[in-house]
Structure 1
């Protein structure tokens, strides 16, 4: 039995104990789009959550300050207020750039029955207005069962995804797609996700899609014989997104330079591998950093690579050749597609507060980490840039790498280099070091939103589709 592969870990804090668990997601009901039917349906698959040896514990009664978290649990815990300060988002909000008029699509297995309520509580706690979450149930989504660990795991991922997207783009509309088959290693669960995405794209729903899941390329049928058709046959949603100008994102993973080995749900391959859909040339791969912030959200040190209880996924794809937009970094990626493209917060020591009530035995505040946090954070950035541009940006790769090429001489691009840390994995696989310029630990680095958002909007608008 394969394990669920959402792309983040939850540091759920309670009773003075810090542990990690698999990422989870949230859900709610959708007005005009509810209960869509996929082109191909499959019976639900029971999957083991990706807890990677860490245990989910009960929630905390309330969120704490960073100083309190450090004193009590020896890790930093961050709020949306701190993220807004750290990523220089407040100047955009003051200018009316809040994601208004744009739609973020989040795709997760099973979803969460309490997503709207939980987002409302989360928003109120940090002084934000909430937003309505439309839920699309794709295929036979089973009733939520708090005794089913895979349901609980995915509900946590859902919650994180929705909260992080909302934290960055508070006025963006959110559509949550719940599928009835868990995404696991290999093809299982992905056909439902891809057919759901294509359906929404064809119906004009969504400007940016965030995917906090992935499967190791090596686990797809035919990989060992060089037959990549099982992956190629799933790319139709991304091709459709490119045709309709929809931006597609994916978390780069939490295994550093390696990832899950389907033979054993608690171990990774003992050599370098990569994961799809992050490795797809039509998908912007979002890696992870560690923020070092005080209680106000000001940096106490430059960002470093996420590498605690997991590590930012990155490296060369074994399926896809180097796309033309990476020709300028070919000395780093070689002749293969390299990931990630850009990175945002993902570290355990600097995890994100979220609120959840889907599990009646663990109602309250949790801290999550992993690149499942980074992808929805960046989806909010894209929504802001879409608003500035006045239209969808679509595939942002060429614009992103053009801005990166200019960034050394022009800091107004908003790209911020990350030059500290590695994504070495706990499987003993030596990864990549964050150095000056592009690297396969953090990609082009991270961002200053007040500069990056208008730069991306302008570059994409002037360079054309």
Structure 2
């Protein structure tokens, strides 16, 4: 089954962002994102992912020095990375480097949100079933968080195997996140990609995050390319029963598992990219074919899933325990301060009272600080 990945555009390195909301001068877009999603506030409490271990499933190679270049550019500490090869590990094929970009951004985005978390890269040859990799992660018993940016078309037999293994992972405190994909304009709503469609996987869609210096604020809006919809392979889960009553859902979808559950940054536009055709966070990637490295923007739900996984790694590390399947907890917080209303969220991450579950953004994006409060990691005091 062909794997699907994020879109990407290569370019030379533009200037970093300048003036931002609240009269703050941002030194880099990672700091901007961490401030907007209140990840910085969690870090300020001493929770930076230390003690947490995040598994990243990949089907291509990466250059470790590229991660260090990114960390130095955006003022992050050195990442702690282990590569766990399955059946010899991933092998890069052909001149295209999209897969290499995918692996690189996955590692960097987890590291951006949880700079002190341990990152285990499960490197697999293309075509290896997800179920085999999930089983390996379960057997290793090292990780509390799993994130996947690759996706495949649904396969009933393979999906059933994945579901059962993830059920066992959940019992052992492991939480699985998966990007919904970047084919929202063309993919049939009733046929989303695997494994994000599984009821025990947290499906992460994408948003557009724009820093507007003229309006002195950061805004977040729906991204049309983010895959959303419902899967007729699974009936409506109990945890989505209240969400299914939302008037913002298609009537047909109210009988089935709906994705995304939550959303995160997929297209990031700073002052230097507002007039560009494409925004995107910048990543440094070395081509395994030419050996040449360059900076370029990358967009996609593949940016969002590892970032969200990193946010939860800060919570897991602080609690010193895994969370398992978090769907029930997430949906019990619907309309709470733990979620931003994507359509018109501002720098404060304000959630309006009329906020509800929507087809494009699910529960919304995260306020990491309020999520940490909800899980009991941080006392409910004004920050």
Question: Cα RMSD (Å) of the superposition?
Answer: 2.6
Equivalent residue, structure 1, for 2:232: 318
2:286 to 339, 344, 357: 357
| Cα distance per residue 1:12-70 (max 9 Å; x no partner) | 21xxxxxxxxxxxxxxxxxxxxxxxxxxxxxxxxxxxxxxxxxxxxxx2x3522479xx
Equivalent residue, structure 1, for 2:105: 160
Equivalent residue, structure 2, for 1:40: none
Q: Distance in 1 between matches of 2:17 and 2:2?
A: 33
2:208 to 282, 285, 290: 290
Equivalent residue, structure 1, for 2:275: none
Q: Distance in 2 between matches of 1:166 and 1:328?
A: 34
Q: Distance in 2 between matches of 1:284 and 1:290?
A: 20
Equivalent residue, structure 2, for 1:81: 31
| 1:251-266 equivalence runs, <5 A | 251-256=179-184, 258-259=186-187
2:318 to 362, 384, 388: 388
| 1:448-459 equivalence runs, <5 A | 448-457=367-376
1:346 aligns with 2:346: no
Q: Distance in 2 between matches of 1:419 and 1:109?
A: 34
Alpha carbons of structure 1 residues 418 and 299: separation in structure 2 relative to 1, 3 Å: farther
1:179 aligns with 2:99: no
1:445 to 355, 364, 376: 364
TM-score using structure 2 length? 0.83
| 1:220-239 equivalence runs, <5 A | 220=155, 228-239=156-167
1:207 aligns with 2:127: no
Equivalent residue, structure 1, for 2:194: 276
Alpha carbons of structure 1 residues 355 and 396: separation in structure 2 relative to 1, 3 Å: same
Equivalent residue, structure 2, for 1:303: 220
TM-score using structure 1 length? 0.69
Equivalent residue, structure 2, for 1:224: none
CA contact 2:190–2:232 (8 Å) conserved in 1: no
| Cα distance per residue 1:69-120 (max 9 Å; x no partner) | xxxxxxxx973122112212222212111000101100011322x1x21111
Q: CA deviation at 1:299?
A: 6.8
- Which structure carries more relative contact order (alpha carbon 8 Å, separation 6+)? 2
Equivalent residue, structure 1, for 2:7: 9
Q: CA deviation at 1:125?
A: 1.0
Q: CA deviation at 1:3?
A: 4.1
Point out where structure 2 has 5 or more consecutive residues left out of the alignment: 20-26, 269-277, 346-353, 379-383
Q: CA deviation at 1:237?
A: 2.8
Equivalent residue, structure 2, for 1:54: none
Aligned residues: 346
Alpha carbons of structure 1 residues 94 and 142: separation in structure 2 relative to 1, 3 Å: closer
Equivalent residue, structure 2, for 1:38: none
Equivalent residue, structure 2, for 1:402: 332
Point out where structure 1 has 5 or more consecutive residues left out of the alignment: 14-59, 69-76, 183-188, 221-227, 260-268, 422-434, 460-465
Q: CA deviation at 1:447?
A: 1.7
| Cα distance per residue 1:303-338 (max 9 Å; x no partner) | 10113xxx1111111211111110111223411000
CA contact 1:388–1:454 (8 Å) conserved in 2: no
Equivalent residue, structure 1, for 2:351: none
Equivalent residue, structure 2, for 1:97: 47
Q: Distance in 2 between matches of 1:251 and 1:335?
A: 22
Q: Distance in 1 between matches of 2:150 and 2:90?
A: 20
CA contact 1:400–1:456 (8 Å) conserved in 2: no
CA contact 2:35–2:41 (8 Å) conserved in 1: no
CA contact 1:291–1:350 (8 Å) conserved in 2: no
Q: Distance in 2 between matches of 1:287 and 1:299?
A: 26
CA contact 2:59–2:90 (8 Å) conserved in 1: no
| Cα distance per residue 1:223-278 (max 9 Å; x no partner) | xxxxx33421333331221121100000011111653xxxxxxxxx5x64211111
Alpha carbons of structure 1 residues 142 and 279: separation in structure 2 relative to 1, 3 Å: closer
CA contact 2:285–2:293 (8 Å) conserved in 1: yes
